[in-house]
Structure 1
């Protein structure tokens, strides 16, 4: 595992002794850094997805976290908060009444953010096309 961090990753109060200690630990496979740097490093390679289940497709989406499909083994992780998510999966019909709520949640997601529409209803309206 290699993580590129700056010498002042822990803040401006990191003194010379701590930098030397960090160099000694890196040779042994350890790392001294800040939590923010680790979180940013993890986010570069993993998708944290958030569900926006509106109809029966949400039940199908639940199966991806169960033992048969288990998406977490591929490095993705579901998140309940939009502030921790990179990807929003919209499952079901997005009606005119629900659109402002979806937009509010979408705006809370950090950049870069992605959206997947899952199922026939999310893609084309399905039975509820004009509602």
Structure 2
């Protein structure tokens, strides 16, 4: 005599979930609650570098109101913040301090490179004293181009960061950095060498691109 088999589980579509939500029934999971709460409580560090910092400050004013996205709490201490907005030119004299602030922030933490200077050095790219992108030392989650980008661009970058956080998994290879033992969360602070920063970059987050040049016939 064969044992009775249980019916196959049926998947619930998004339309069914929306209908249940209208009836006051919420279907969710621990992962969804975790990522939803994390994405809507991203607190930036009260920190700016150059012109882009003015646009970042403007984003918190009443006209743009960054509070709509849960990020109105600019923390004065890196130990209470989880978003580093690198807003402006990163000189090589300032780079060690930026990395040190990043190391003092607790996980989970995120980084936004705001403006052309923070992304690639901007108009000062050929200068001997300017870092050609903060991503040489820190893992950047969102890039916001512009010189300077407007407050709306920063808000758009924040929304994209929220989408990225909501896409995280609590386990497996798609888990965020702070939930994986094989990824280091601390980054070496560069020191001032005789002619440049030592090391010139962090190889775990950035390596120089290989340019293949074709030989002319």
TM-score by length of 2: 0.39
**Does the 8 Å contact 2:46/2:77 carry over to 1?**
no
Aligned residues: 91
Q: Normalised by the size of structure 1, how large is the TM-score?
A: 0.63
The 5 A counterparts of 1:1-131 are: 44=38, 45-76=40-71, 77-129=73-125, 130=127, 131=129
Distance 1:106 1:115 in 2: 9
Unaligned runs of 5+ in 2: 1-36, 130-217
Structure 1, residues 34-68: CA drift from partner, whole Å, max 9, x if none?
xxxxxxxxx74410111431111111111111001
Structure 1 stretches lacking a partner, 5+ long? 1-42
- SS of aligned partner of 1:59: helix
Q: For structure 1, which segment, 106-115 or 49-58, has the greater mean C-alpha deviation from structure 2 after superposition?
A: 49-58
Q: How big is the shift at 1:101?
A: 0.5
Kindly name which structure, 1 or 2, has the bigger radius of gyration based on alpha carbons: 2
| Equivalent-residue separation in structure 1 for 2:59 and 2:74 (angstroms) | 10
Q: Which has the higher helix share?
A: 1
Q: State the Cα distance separating 1:92 from its structure 2 match.
A: 0.7
Separation of aligned partners in 1, 2:62 and 2:117: 26
Using CA pairs below 8 Å that are at least 6 residues apart, which structure has the higher relative contact order? 1
